[in-house]
Amino acid sequence: MSSPVTAAPVAKKVPQERTHHGDTFVDDYEWLRDKNDPEVIAYLEAENAYTTAATEHLGPLREAIFGEIKSRTQETDLSVPSRMGQWWYYSRSFEGKQYGVHCRCPIDSPDDWTPPVLSADVDIPGEQVLIDGNELAEGHDFLSLGAMSVTRDGTMLAYSVDTKGDERYTLRFKNLETGELLDDEIPGIGAGATWSLDGTHVFYVTVDEAWRPDTVWRHELGTERSADVQVFHEPDERFWVDFDLTRSEKYLAIVIGSKITSEVHYLESSDPEGEFTVVWPREEGVEYGIEHAVVGGEDRFLILHNGVVDGVKAENFTLVDTPVGDPTDQRTLIAHRADARLEYIAAFAGHLVVGYRREALTRLAVWPLTESGYGELRELEFNEELYSVGAGSTPEWHSPLLRLGFTSFITPIRVYDYEIASGALLLRKETPVLGGYEPADYEQHRDWAVAADGTRIPISIVRKTGVADPAGPAPLLLYGYGSYEASIDPEFSVSRLSLLDRGMVFAVAHVRGGGEMGRHWYDTGKMLSKKNTFTDFVSCARHLVDTGHTTPQQMIADGGSAGGLLMGAVANLAPELFAGIITNVPFVDPLTSILDPSLPLTIIEWGEWGNPLADKDVYDYMRSYSPYENVGAHDYPAILAITGLNDTRVLYVEPAKWVAKLRDTKTGDSSLLLKTEMTAGHAGVSGRYERWREVAFEYAWILDTAGV
């Protein structure tokens, strides 16, 4: 017999007043912020115990779903190798092992461009293990691999690891000729590391107390960290710093950006101790990035920017090229278009790759470089209604092949090589799905909802063939995000099959605040237009009910991080539309966070939400939608909130406070659960089996709540 469900924990109230712009808010649960307080940990553990007891009856379903994910996954497998220098690089996975193993094997000849067909269960001649994640994870509950960067000559490896989930990495160096780990060790840095061309120096970034990447350092191999040179520091707290390398490897780049403004400094990689030069001085509201190309024998910078061209703001970006060292001498290559958002440019010795977005789908084009300049741009075409395509790993500047990745809701990830000379698309691998998966058994399509202001909102829908219409309403999981211009593109999921095969429909509401429909789509879902994100999601949900896809009693809403803000707002705005809401690391107390400049990333975030400290209009607007402040005494759907104690992006205290207030305020008897991963951060648990178990936990709750 199962044990009885214990009573829900009740958090004590410690009223604290917060006053801004004449408005006073009494926060009863701010005391939960101190994770060093044993009483806080005890409360979180009590919530975990309650969640465990309340979901105990789902144990068999969780085990069944975990078994399905495992049985469909080819556990011992390897990726398609990518050539760099004299080696093929790839990763391997092994049955029973949580983490991947990164390896390489030698090329056969300088003209060897076709990736070898390697067998996962056969010894590979000349194979060398670079990093074994399972060895790095020994003695740790969490592991995240940040940098994994090899010198151009292939002799040295720089790699970084985070074993807490707080996104503070330790950088180490390995001699790949001897297997020896060097004494050089640099803790407390950001994830990345970039080598100079000669492999004598490595560049890395550190963060300030607010977790803002703000300083670039240069480390000379074999020296103490105390001798590292500060290359660049960004004092403006609105900006963060990154470090990059052009595809040609000829130029190093310091990339500085805020939410609306950017600046790039460059230096020849062969001169790592030289001085960086600004490409374009920052101009408020103008974002840009650079790539290096050789056109007609001349070094040129390709600059993707959204500045003003001929008196008109290039909202969806334009592409120009300039001589290196003279950014004022511009030539427009791709003009701004209202219906296509330029997203990236990658340069090779003989061609360019252009990534862009049109009609809420990713697009890819190849643009040959000729002796006289630019040839004819060719867009690659695919025959599915919904799909995602993007450039993959092609490290070699002179490669005659371009690596691509392709997937859809019903097509497992495919790896292609595009042959530049012939235009042939060569399939190298399709991710295996065991157990007899047939794409024809599933269907995907695009639908459109209409928002209150008349805007058409795209909805992506995937289901098992024959489910729902014309059979009638079906249980449905509606996912949304809608922030930071992030796009939720079609992607295959092995685990999602456990929902689809049980008759559940999966849908994505491509709400404003995301980037699916271009920069305007983002701009009309942020700052003082943020509520469009929430009302768009509600419009999509109502459309799915009105068109017979589902009913409120069968629909679950899902979103995480900034999508968790969406979930919290929707719970207040239209609780009657959903049977349940599930949210991971939810940003449900945004006003408290954005009012505190000392918290991680807050000042940077002012470019997304506005500055409520300085602007009463922003304060009032955020106060009107913030989920925590607007919890009301009415019936809510069942809610499951999941967080990580070591999260530095959305602190665990936000969902903890939200659940505490909901439990004290809401009416009705719907389930309200909080689950805190005590050794994880923003990305959740690590290790593939632990991730599968977490997915099984969430899916079991979703299916049970939807009445499946």
Residue 400 and residue 402: Cα distance in Å, rounded?
A: 7
- CA 485 – CA 314 distance, rounded (Å): 16
The DSSP result for 522-559, as a single string, is HHTTSGGGTHHHHHHHHHHHHHHHHTTS--GGGEEEEE
Active site residue 647: yes
- Which of 163, 160, 99, 191 minimizes the C-alpha distance to 690? 99
Establish whether domains 38-71+441-589+626-705 and 289-433 are of one fold: no
The confidence score (pLDDT) of residue 166 equals 87
Distance between first and last Cα of the chain: 23
What would the two tokens of residue 396 be? 């070699």
For 641-673, what is each residue's pLDDT tens digit? 999 998 888 999 999 999 999 999 999 999 999
Burial level of 94, CB count in 10 A (0-12/13-18/19+)? middle
Active site residue 682: yes
Residue tagged active-site, from 102, 292, 510, 682: 682
Predicted confidence at residue 5, as pLDDT, reads 54
- d(CA 471, CA 463) in angstroms, rounded, equals 12
pLDDT at 1: 33
Q: Cβ of 438: how many Cβ atoms within 10 Å?
A: 9
Q: What share of the chain is helix, strand, coil (3-state, %, to 5)?
A: 20, 35, 45
Q: What is the pLDDT of residue 632?
A: 97
**Per-residue confidence (pLDDT) for residue 401, from 0 to 100:** 96
Q: Let me know: does 341 contact 304? Beta carbons within 8 Å.
A: no
Q: Which residues touch 224 (CB under 8 Å, ≥6 apart)?
A: none
* pLDDT at residue 379 in the model: 96
Give the containing element (helix H, strand E) for 624: helix 616-625
Beta bridge partners of 217: 204, 230
Which residue, 185, 136, 179, is CA-closest to 155?
Answer: 179
Taking only the tens place, the pLDDT of each residue in 299-348 is 999 999 999 998 999 999 999 999 998 888 999 999 999 999 999 999 99
Are 147 and 186 in contact by the 8 Å Cβ rule? The answer is: no
Contact 547, 527 (CB under 8 A): no
Please state the CATH superfamily assignment of the domain spanning residues 38-71+441-589+626-705 in this structure: Alpha/Beta hydrolase fold, catalytic domain (3.40.50.1820)
CA distance 48 to 59: 15
Q: Which residues, including other chains, have CB under 8 Å from residue 684's CB and lie 6 or more apart?
A: 584, 585, 642, 644, 677, 691, 694
Q: Name the token pair of 234.
A: 């960004």
| Order of strands, sheet of 169-175, starting from the edge strand that comes earlier in the sequence | 144-150, 156-162, 169-175, 181-189
Report the distance separating Cα 470 and Cα 467, nearest Å: 8
Which residue in 497, 503, 496, 498 sits closest to 475, CA to CA? 503
Q: Which of 460, 510, 647, 671 is catalytic?
A: 647
Top CATH class, 289-433: mainly beta
Catalytic one of 561, 593, 671, 686: 561
Instruction: Give the model confidence (pLDDT) of 147-186 as tens digits.
Output: 999 999 999 999 999 998 888 999 999 999 999 999 999 9
SS3 104: strand
The predicted pLDDT at position 468 comes to 52
Residue with tokens 């194979």: 127
pLDDT at 470: 54
Find out whether the peptide bond into 597 is cis, omega within 30 degrees of 0. Answer: no
pLDDT mean for each 10 residues of the chain (708 residues):
68 97 97 96 96 97 98 95 96 94 95 91 92 94 93 96 91 96 94 94 94 95 96 96 96 96 97 96 96 94 95 96 91 95 96 96 95 91 96 95 97 97 95 96 97 97 78 92 97 98 97 97 98 98 97 98 97 98 97 92 92 98 98 98 91 97 97 93 83 97 97
Domain edges within the chain: 38-71+441-589+626-705, 289-433
